[in-house]
Amino acid sequence: MEEALPQDDGSKGHDVIIEKSRDMGASWICLTLFAWRWHFRRLQSFLMVSRKEGLVDGSGDSLFSHIDFIHKGLPKWMMPQLRRNKLKLINLENGSKIEGESTTDNIGRGGRRTSMLIDEFAAFEGGGYDVLSATADNTNSRVFNSTPNGTGNAFYAQLQKGTPRLRFHWSRHPEKAEGLYEGDDGRSRSPWYDNECIRRAHPVEIATQLDIDYQGSAYPFFDPKTLNQLAAEFASPPYHQGYLDFADPHSPELREDDHGNLKVWLPLGVELAPRQDRDYIVGADISMGTGASESTLSVADRMTGEKVAELADSNMSPNKWAELAVALCRWFAGPGGRPAFLIWEATGPGRTFGKTVIEECRFGNVYFATDDKRLKRRESDKPGWFSTAEGKKDLLANYRDLLFSRDFINPSKKALNQAAEFVYLPNGRVEHQGATNTIDPSDRGDNHGDVVIADALVAKILRERKKRPVDKLPQGPAPGSFQWRRDQREGQNDDEW
């Protein structure tokens, strides 16, 4: 902890994360370090931040009340001359100070700091991204201290970024760990822990307050344990990886590259092309292409229910993504050279995507929206799947059912990990935890959990269009197409002749 702060040898310090179980004394340790520096180092400047002013300096269990308690226990000869005001403590003898702010203030307005404590960071409104951005230039040493609160926040993002961390798990506490043993699920347990589980009852509270479990600390839509089982059973490296060269959109080719954005879980032949005795489905989720979230394509074999390919990119415009999606459909051609069936989310950037698919690429093997609420579900003249709050929940529920029943086999570890980040919101909606917390406003809302949405769209077609054996699949032009109608007409003329 001390090494994260600037040192006398000239080191500037660094950010650090403290992930903790509840009541492990992490805040006390940070404040004791700040108080020690305030006493014995000149011109130190510390800032303590929490989500409410009362948690920083107020009656009861506030940050400043901890420091006040420390000072009350010191002999008088150790206490310097000081000035103690609301949200401020100044050492008049060496010029060091400790100040406090809440997230409702203009964070960091006091200039450069020796270090900052950002307490219970995962619970900050809006995910804490504004605070993360506002404090970046104020100090090299930010201490992000928190229990987990799901994955859709800046605290978890900093953890994923690789920020150095300290882990204060309850099993490191000598009293709480007395009688420590391993449970059936492989987690550490003790008599104290067992009593806490009974007292807290709800699994989300247990995950948040005790287990330092980020997925379990929200209300997950996909059961994390089942997702872990599926990952252990099916997750695997792809057979091939590379880039799809679609300079000739009617004859796309795979250029193998270990860093490519196309992953294929299917053995390819000498010409690096998928076998054409299968029936493929392509699901597409589209972002604005600004880098904040990914556009994704998911490909499944309708006969086996297996996901066979995944393609993701965060910097491609909806128009260009449409061209790539059509090329991928043509690369995954089925019997008779029929391109794969394409379904996409038509809201948001999906409108531009769909227009390009239909009008510019002139691609017709696509999904048309249906009214699922009517007894007779009829296709409309609107291409693509249109998302609503209830429709999205139903879409994900169908995907979950097929995934958990093993009717949809997903070998992508990335996709399964992303599924663990979908949660129930207080209003009953289902959303990816990062959907409302991106810094880029053009990609806010429904453009996160991208791989999962593409997978779910594929699963929708798997459910609606049952598997058929190869010998019953159309071997020629698509039914209803111009070539199909011409063949029908010529056949009738031959009979009459």
199-237 CB burial, b ≥16 within 10 A, e <16: ebeebbbbbbbbbbbbbbbbebbbebeebeebbeebbee
Pairing of strands 379-383, 16-20: unpaired
Contact 346, 485 (CB under 8 A): no
Confidence of residue 83 (pLDDT cuts 50, 70, 90): very high
User: What pLDDT, on a 0 to 100 scale, did the predictor assign at position 497?
Assistant: 28
Query: pTM of this prediction?
Result: 0.62
198-257, pLDDT tens digit by residue?
A: 887 677 788 888 998 887 766 788 888 899 999 999 999 999 999 999 999 889 999 999
> Partners of 91 in the beta sheet?
82
pLDDT for residue 456 is more than 90? yes
Other Cβ atoms closer than 10 A to 84: 13
267-286, pLDDT tens digit by residue?
A: 998 788 998 888 999 999 99
Instruction: Give the tokens for residue 424.
Output: 């129930």
Instruction: Give the tokens for residue 158.
Output: 């900093």
Instruction: Give the tokens for residue 115.
Output: 């270090």
Which helix (DSSP H) or strand (DSSP E) does residue 396 occupy? helix 389-404
**Burial group, residue 47, by CB count within 10 angstroms (0-12, 13-18, 19+):** buried
Residues sharing a CB contact under 8 Å with residue 280, sequence separation 6 or more, in sequence order: 274, 299, 300, 301, 302, 308, 329, 332, 333, 334, 340, 341
Three-state secondary-structure class, residue 304: coil
Pairing of strands 97-102, 45-50: parallel
Radius of gyration of the chain (CA): 29
pLDDT for residue 437 is more than 50? no
Residues sharing a CB contact under 8 Å with residue 56, sequence separation 6 or more, in sequence order: 48, 49, 50, 62, 63, 64, 87, 100, 101, 102
pLDDT for residue 321 is more than 70? yes
Contact 128, 154 (CB under 8 A): yes
Max avg pLDDT among 100-104, 108-112, 430-434, 472-476: 100-104
CA distance 361 to 328: 13
Per-residue HEC secondary structure of 314-344 comes to: CCCCHHHHHHHHHHHHHHCCCHHHCCCEEEE
Other Cβ atoms closer than 10 A to 302: 21
Confidence of residue 369 (pLDDT cuts 50, 70, 90): confident
Q: Find the length of the chain.
A: 497
CA distance 144 to 282: 42
Instruction: Give the tokens for residue 395.
Output: 């879409």
Q: What is the DSSP letter of 360?
A: I
Of 160, 158, 104, 163, the C-alpha closest to 129 is 158
Region 76-102: mean pLDDT is: 94
CA distance 95 to 143: 22
* Mean pLDDT estimate for the chain: 85
Phi, psi of 107 (to 5 degrees): -60, 135
257-270, pLDDT tens digit by residue?
A: 999 999 999 999 87
Torsional sign, CA 407, 409, 414, 416: positive
35-70, pLDDT tens digit by residue?
A: 999 999 999 999 999 988 889 998 778 999 999 999
CA distance 387 to 375: 20
478-496, pLDDT tens digit by residue?
A: 544 445 555 655 554 443 3
Which range (202-206, 376-380, 440-444, 488-492) has the least confidence? 440-444
Contact 148, 78 (CB under 8 A): no
Domains in the chain, start-ordered, CATH in brackets? 2-168 (3.40.50.300), 181-218 (no CATH), 228-466 (3.30.420.240)
CA distance 459 to 474: 21
Of 433, 427, 432, 430, the C-alpha closest to 398 is 430
Other Cβ atoms closer than 10 A to 496: 6
